[in-house]
Structure 1
Amino acid sequence: MDLQLSGRIAVVTGASQGIGLAVTRTLLGEGVRVLAVSRSSSAELAALGGDLLHGPADLMDPEAPARIVDRAVSEFGGLDILVNNAGGPPPGVALPRFSFMAPTDDDWRVMFEFNLFAVVRTIRAAIAPMLARGGGSIVNVSSGNARLPAPMNVDYNAAKAGLNNLTKALSEEFAPQGIRVNTVSPGPVRTAWWTKDGGAADILAAQAGTDRESVLTKVAPDLMKLTTGRLVDPQEVADVIALLASPRSASTTGADFAVDAGFLKQV
């Protein structure tokens, strides 16, 4: 299916690995010019080639979002697509946490800074150049945990719930002006968050008295009641994001799409 994306301009945050890398690769394959944003590049990102620029940025810096949008406009001539993928544990933070009592006030602040306020600032910067081109598509990467409150990672879950609310509000205001805003809510995705040394799989393995690979293949899918029996592949999330970025989804706005291996059970 032709997604009608050739020649469009995108900013993708958190683009050096995981979901963001898969989104960047997919959009490039559709002929999109992409400013790939991350604190540092990666060999995988650098190898993609095509109409790709790396935009080094730390989104914990309140000035960074405006700078990256300005660069996309100056280098490529505008902005049509924004994928707010950067999120999860803020720099230097390891998740999961297992209780409401675990995160401090400072933990809450940095969690919201990274997962909500950085998105607010990036969208604020993106609105004017999108309107100048007659509209665009914003896709915010949320989480199934935004709709499944639990004591584990309570600060992260609350930040993502705020992101879902923000998405609905933005759609109400800007869809009549041609800017569609949607969320994609992954379940557990097999990314560095899970697989790196000291990541979620290692933390859960220590709790369960097992090893990392057992957590990734058995413990986590069972714990989270994943009906597919496995963690999500990043490309599976990227494919949905690409469709939402496309004019083929022109009547889809203010919606949330679960790509979660059956994690959410609610109707």
Structure 2
Amino acid sequence: MDLELSGRVAVVTGASKGIGLAVARTLADEGAYVVAASRTPVDAKATHVAVDLMDPQAPARVIARAVEEYGGVDILVNNAGGPPPGVTLPRVGFMTPGDADWQAMFEFNLFSAVRMIRAAVPVMIERGGGSIVNISSGSARQPGAMNVDYGAAKAALNHVGKAVSEEFGAQGIRVNTISPGPVLTHWWTKEGGAAEVIGGMAGASKEDIVARVAPDMMKLVTGRLVHPQEIADMVALLASPRSASTTGAEFAIDGGFLKEL
């Protein structure tokens, strides 16, 4: 199926690894011009913009680079998120994160996306519209004692996506949200990452956490963590003009993590 993405300009944040890298590669494979924003280089066919999205000025620089290189922006994928730089998750208990932790979590997972959208919307309007895809989390709708600050930031991102889709839909801008469950990325597998942290709590090896304990703990009906490419494929579809009537929607790609109707 032709997704009609050839020649379109896509900005992807957090594009150096995991979901973001899979998204950047997939959009490039579909013929899009990709501007990849990340702190480290990107192993994909893309124009790399080296930025730290904790810097409030960074989003405007990324969009300006896309305009300079390709004349505009048609697609924005707000993928950057998760633990802020230098932070290790999971954190257990509401009392664990302090004010600085909450502020950093919202800065990285909410405000960076807000600023990217703010910078991209006028450019998209000039081109007659565009597609924004926000990468949220199942934690936004599944509150619990683990990573409460992260879940709260993602819940706010869901709200922003709905609000922007409503305000700018008549001007051709679609905004949709993808809520992944646990995805098999570097965040889980790196040294000192989530698998090792949970393994220390559960008395299990990193490999066993990834293969069995985490899927069981999160009651994943598929019995495995989500693959980054599965998220990237949905991003490509939502970015495509073939999804022209899809806006303000949220899609759970989570192996059955969310149980609610």
Q: Normalising TM by the smaller chain, what interval? A: over 0.9
- One-letter amino acid of the structure 2 residue matched with residue 190 of structure 1: L
Q: Give the CA deviation at 1:153.
A: 0.2
Give how far 1:265 is off. Answer: 0.4
Counterpart in the other structure of 2:137: 143
- Structure 2 CA distance, aligned partners of 1:10 and 1:218? 36
SS at match of 1:230: coil
Structure 1 residue 138: deviation in Å?
0.2
CA shift, 1:27, in A, is 0.3
Q: Counterpart of 1:181 in 2: which secondary structure?
A: strand
Q: What secondary structure sits across from 1:82 in the alignment?
A: strand
The answer for the alignment partner of 2:150 in structure 1 is 156
TM-align CA RMSD:
0.6
Deviation, 1:219, is 0.4
- Tell me the residue number matched to 1:15: 15
Number of the residue aligned with 1:214:
208
**Separation in 2, partners of 1:210, 1:232:** 21
Cα distance in 2 between the residues matched to 1:98 and 1:22: 29
Equivalent residue, structure 1, for 2:123 = 129
Structure 1 residue 193 displacement after superposition: 0.7
Give the counterpart of 2:232 among 218, 238, 242: 238
Partner of 2:26: 26
Deviation (angstroms), 1:184: 0.3
Q: C-alpha distance in 2, partners of 1:205/1:161?
A: 27
**Displacement of 1:180:** 0.2
Q: 1:192 aligns with which of 183, 186, 189?
A: 186
SS at match of 1:183: strand
Instruction: Tell me how far apart the structure 2 counterparts of residues 41 and 203 of structure 1 sit (CA, whole Å).
Output: 27
1:60 paired residue number: 54
Offset, 1:181: 0.3
CA deviations 1:56-88 (Å, max 9, x no partner) are: 000000000000000000111110000000000
2:89 matched to 1:95?
Answer: yes
Question: Secondary structure of the residue that 1:37 maps to in structure 2?
Answer: strand
Instruction: Specify the alignment match of 2:41 in structure 1.
Output: 41
Q: Report the equivalent of 1:205.
A: 199
Counterpart amino acid of residue 76 in structure 1? Y
2:11 aligned partner, one-letter code: V
Shift of 1:130: 0.3
Query: How many residues are paired up?
Result: 261
Structure 2: distance between partners of 1:170 and 1:74:
25
In the alignment, the residues of structure 2 paired with residue 64 and residue 248 of structure 1 have an alpha-carbon distance, to the nearest angstrom, of: 31
2:65 equivalent among 63, 71, 78: 71
Letter matched to residue 27 of structure 2 = L
Indicate which of 76, 84, 95 corresponds to 1:82.
Answer: 76
Q: 1: distance between equivalents of 2:205 and 2:41?
A: 30
Cα distance in 2 between the residues matched to 1:146 and 1:100: 15
Distance 2:221 2:151 in 1: 21
Q: Deviations over 1:153-203 (max 9, x none)?
A: 000000000000010000110111100001000000000110000100000
Mapped partners of 1:229, 1:125: distance in 2: 40
1:107 lines up with 2:101 in the alignment = yes
Match of 2:176 in 1: 182
Letter of the 1:24 counterpart: A
Distance in 2, Cα, partners of 1:165 & 1:103:
23
Equivalent position amino acid for 1:184 in 2 = I
AA aligned to 1:176 is A
Identify unmatched segments of 5+ residues in structure 2. none
Question: SS state of the match for residue 179, structure 2?
Answer: strand
AA in 1 matched with 2:15:
A
Residue of 107, 112, 120 corresponding to 1:118? 112
CA distance in 2 between partners of 1:115 and 1:16 (Å): 17
Give the SS at the match of 2:174. strand
Match of 2:260 in 1: 266
1:266 Cα deviation from its structure 2 partner:
0.5
- TM-score, structure 1 as length reference: 0.97
Counterpart residue identity of residue 243, structure 2: S
TM-score by length of 2: 0.99
Q: Distance in 1 between matches of 2:217 and 2:113?
A: 30
